[in-house]
Chain A
Amino acid sequence: MGSAKLEARGLGKRFKTHGQVVDALAGVDLALGDREFVSVIGPSGCGKSTLFNIFAGLETPTSGDVLLDGKVTVGDDLLGKVGYMPQQDLLMPWRTILDNTILGLEVGGVAKKEARQRALDLFPLFGLSGFEKRYPDDLSGGMRQRAALLRTFLAGREVILLDEPFGALDSLTRAAMQQWLLGIWEEHRKTILFVTHDVDEALFLADRVYAMSSRPGRVTQILEVGIPRPRTYDVITSEPFIEMKQVLLEKLRLAQSTGRAA
């Protein structure tokens, strides 16, 4: 893993709340190769969000290191280095869709006019044409997520973190969005860390899946998804897919029961 784009080494995070000590993460090792699509899956409370926030630079780990391009980069130093898309789209209701998508460029000091032009070039690809001047409240859930994704893509970071971006969508829209995301990724080739609690989603999208257990959150299984690309949605009923799904579900079931016992 010498060539990892983003790597966690022995990552641990301990919270103290009301005198109680909670280990959200304990000794998490995880690596994203350049232009890889990696999924993290686990039951709720497995520290996915904590891991996500540490990678984004919003939280500092209690132990272990984050390496970006092979260099130790932790906490504030990570701010601005990694693209971040949280669960909620967090579109600003006072900005038009167009002006929401250019947020990263604007903060980065790109002139508004140029930023808008660069965004407009991508609007068709993100299925947002005709909605440039609309406000977020006018858009459906799927469109809002695509706008938030465009905002994340336009910020121009090589590594992008996505935290259950399709979690709130109905299953049909969700399947369409997954397929569409793969298309974008294959064209633009970013390094993506995708957090989800949906096994199908993780396997369908990723090159590699990390399964996590809860309290403390640690990696219990690493699964290389060998399904060739480009993938279409019918792979989810194929033999190898179902086998991998069974392995993961078993792990998650175990993780949940041990988590409860602990």
Chain B
Amino acid sequence: MSGTDQEMVAPVTNGAAAAAADDRRDTGRTIRRWIRTVTPPLLFAVLVIVLWEVFVLITAVSALLLPAPSQIGISLVENAGLFARNAVVTLSEILIGFALGAFVGIALGIGLSYSRIFERSVYPWLVASQMVPIVAVAPILVVWFGFTLVPKVLVVALISFFPVVVNTVDGLQSVDRKMINLMRTLDASQVKIMRTVRIPWAMPFVFSGLKIAMALAVVGAVFGEWVGSNAGLGYLMLAFNNQLATTDLFAAVIVLSAMGIALFFLVGGVERLVIPWHHDKRQAGR
């Protein structure tokens, strides 16, 4: 009897207070974990930069081959305006192309999992489409659409939609059968089951696909610019390369990398907002 009372009453009276205390402790722990995560890679980066600077100083290697980090830093500051203007061009190509690829990818993934016939007739072609090298397709797109934004956006979309489709389909197909049965006993419609069970279940998979897609999107945008453009970080790289302006070339690479990393973490941040439960679970699993 007393066992019953304890088990039942304790959560009723202390539940809210305990939950609030938990939250406070969680915040403190999150900050500390964040510091622990961020510090080692930052220290490592500083170490590499210092060694690099020292190496250049000692060997007096030509800046045409390997510029010193300090030189690259100066280039970044001096050309800040130029980099910013061209970064905006590349960024818009990435964002528009990625959005297009993600949308098509998720929509196709849902469509594929809805219809067996659709899946069997379309899925092999999706895979085949990835076997056509983007290197070969990009020039054709330039021929069709000229030096506009369109061919870059299409290259980015083409390259980024595939991981999204594959992960969406995998996610939707891995749904716990028992959860669907539970919904069926509630007399839920197929559409309702899709919305309440299948899609939320697939979300972590979708986000895995989106992260890969974002990394590829950056590559896609630069490549699209190499094939034909008159602006963007990829265009700048080509130009600097032709002028043997190695220091500026390095600076452009750094701007692009920083942008890529930021975009990647942006997707991670959106993931945490959209599916907070999944992030908490992974943290708990560590």
Report which A residues bind B (CB closer than 8 A): 53, 56-58, 79-84, 86, 88, 90, 92-95, 103-104, 106-108, 124, 127-131, 133-135, 137, 142-143, 155, 172-173, 175-177, 179-180, 232-233
Q: Judging by beta carbons under 8 Å apart, are B277 and A172 in contact?
A: no
- The answer to whether B192 has its CB under 8 Å from any CB of chain A is yes
B181 A107 Cβ-Cβ under 8 A: no
The reply to whether A92 and B14 form a contact with Cβ atoms under 8 Å apart is: no
**A142–B203 touching, CB < 8 Å:** no
Is B11 close to A, CB under 8 A? yes
Which residues on B sit within 8 Å (CB–CB) of A106? 196
Q: What is the bound-complex CA distance between A177 and B19, given in angstroms?
A: 23
Query: CA–CA, A133 to B281, complex, Å?
Result: 15
Which stretch of B1-9, B212-220, B255-263, B264-272 is in the interface? Answer: B1-9
Residues of A within 8 A of B203 (CB): 94
Given A93-B277, A127-B7, A233-B1: A107 in contact with B186 (beta carbons within 8 A): yes
Chain B's interface size range is: 35 or more
Could you mark each residue 193-218 of chain B with 1 if its beta carbon is under 8 Å from any beta carbon of chain A, else 0? 00011001101000000000000000
Cross-chain contact A131 with B187 (CB below 8 angstroms): no
A94 and B200 contact, CB distance less than 8 A: yes
Per CB-CB distance, the 3 closest pairs between chain A and chain B, nearest first, are A130-B15, A80-B187, A130-B16
Task: Tell me whether A93 and B176 are in contact (CB under 8 A).
Answer: no
| A129 pairs with B186, CB closer than 8 A | no
A84 contacts B14, C-beta separation under 8 Å? no
B77: min CB distance to chain A, Å: 46
A129 to B14, CA, bound (A): 9
- Measured in the bound complex, the distance between the Cα atoms of B1 and A128 in whole Å is 19
Cα separation A87 to B283 with both chains bound (whole Å) = 27
User: Does B185 contact A80, Cβ atoms closer than 8 Å?
Assistant: yes
Tell me if B182 and A84 are in contact (CB < 8 A): yes
A124-B12, A130-B11 are known contacts. Are A56 and B277 too (CB-CB below 8 A)? no
Contacts of B19 in A (CB 8 A): 130-131, 133-134
Q: Does B275 contact A86, Cβ atoms closer than 8 Å?
A: no
User: Please, could you name 12 A-B residue pairs with CB atoms under 8 Å apart, sorted by A?
Assistant: A79-B184, A80-B185, A80-B186, A83-B185, A93-B281, A95-B200, A130-B17, A130-B18, A131-B19, A133-B19, A179-B4, A180-B7
Which of A53, A79, A131, A173 is in CB contact (< 8 Å) with B7? A173
In-complex Cβ contact of A232 among B1, B187, B284 (8 A) = B1
Question: Would A137 and B8 count as touching, CB distance under 8 A?
Answer: no
The residue on B at minimum CB distance from A148 is: B182
Contact, CB under 8 Å: A79 / B187: yes
CA distance A232 to B1 in the complex (A): 8
B-side interface mostly: helix
Residue of A nearest to B181 (CB): A58
For residue A150, give the distance in angstroms from its CB to the closest CB of chain B.
13
Q: Nearest Cβ in chain B — how far from A206, in angstroms?
A: 19
CB distance from A84 to the nearest CB of B (A): 4
CA distance A82 to B1 in the complex (A): 32
Given A79-B185, A86-B181, A176-B3: A107 and B281 within 8 A (CB)? no
Contact between B185 and A90, CB atoms less than 8 A apart: no
Pick the most buried of B1, B187, B196: most chain A CB atoms within 10 A of its CB.
B187
Using Cβ atoms and an 8 Å threshold, which residues of chain A touch B183? 107
B186: chain A residues at CB < 8 Å are 80, 103-104, 107-108, 155
A92-B179 contact, Cβ under 8 Å, with A84-B185, A137-B277: yes
**Nearest opposing residue in chain A for B2, CB measure:** A176
**Given A108-B186, A172-B3, A176-B3, are A130 and B197 neighbors across the interface (CB < 8 Å)?**
no
Q: Which residues of B contact A93 (CB under 8 A)?
A: 277-278, 281
Which residue of the partner chain, among A53, A95, A127, A175, contacts B3 with CB atoms under 8 Å?
A175
Interface string of B14-27 (1 = CB under 8 A from A): 11111100000000
> In the docked arrangement, what's the CA distance between A84 and B180, Å?
12
How far is B275's CA from A107's CA once the two chains are assembled, in angstroms?
22
With A and B bound together, what is the CA distance between A179 and B179 in angstroms? 28
What are the residues of chain B within 8 A of A233 when measuring CB–CB?
1
Give CA–CA (A45, B19) in the complex, Å. Answer: 42
Q: Is B80 an interface residue (CB 8 A)?
A: no
CB pair B277–A94 under 8 Å, yes or no, is yes
Contacts A79-B187, A90-B178 known; A130 to B14 CB distance under 8 Å? yes
CA of A107 to CA of B182 in the docked complex: distance in angstroms? 11
Cα distance A56–B183 in the bound complex, in angstroms: 11
A131 to B11, CA, bound (A): 8
Looking across the interface, which residue of chain B has its beta carbon closest to that of A175?
Answer: B3
Residues in B with CB closer than 8 Å to A53 are 181
